Amino acid sequence: MPAKIPVTIITGFLGSGKTTLIRHLLQNNQGRRIAVLVNEFGELGIDGELLKSCQICPETDEVTSVSTSPTTNIFELTNGCLCCTVQEEFLPTMQQLIKRRESIDCILIETSGLALPKPLVKAFRWHEICNAATVDAVITVVDCAAVAAGTFASNPKAVEAQRQADDSLEHETPLQELFEDQLACADLVVLNKTDLLDNQSKASVEQLVQQELPREVKIVESNYGELDPSVLLGFQAGVENDLDNRPSHHDIEEDHNHDDEITSAYLVLDRTFDPQKLLYQLQTLAREQEIYRIKGFVAVPNKSMRLVMQGVGNRFEQFYDRPWKPEEIRRTSLVFIGRDLNPSTIESHLLTVTSHQ
Domain count, the chain: 2
CB count within 10 Å of CB 69 equals 10
Query: Mind listing the pLDDT tens digit for each residue in 55-74?
Result: 544 444 333 333 334 445 77
pLDDT confidence of 139, banded at 50, 70, 90? very high
Mean pLDDT of 274-293: 85
Question: Does 160 reside within a domain?
Answer: yes
Residue that wins the pLDDT comparison between 39 and 138 = 138
Question: Does 256 reside within a domain?
Answer: no
Do 233 and 293 fall into the same domain?
no
pLDDT confidence of 178, banded at 50, 70, 90? confident
Do 134 and 21 fall into the same domain?
yes
Residue whose C-alpha is closest to residue 144's, from 185, 203, 187, 215: 203
CATH number, residue 78: 3.40.50.300
Do 347 and 288 fall into the same domain?
yes
Residue that wins the pLDDT comparison between 120 and 88 = 120
Question: Does 357 reside within a domain?
Answer: no
Counting Cα atoms < 13 Å in the Cβ hemisphere of 216 gives 0
Q: Which of 209, 227, 251 is the last residue of a domain?
A: 251
153 is in which domain, residue-wise? 5-55+71-251
Residue spans of alpha helices (H) in the chain: 18-27, 46-52, 91-99, 117-122, 127-130, 144-148, 156-165, 174-184, 199-212, 229-232, 275-288, 343-354
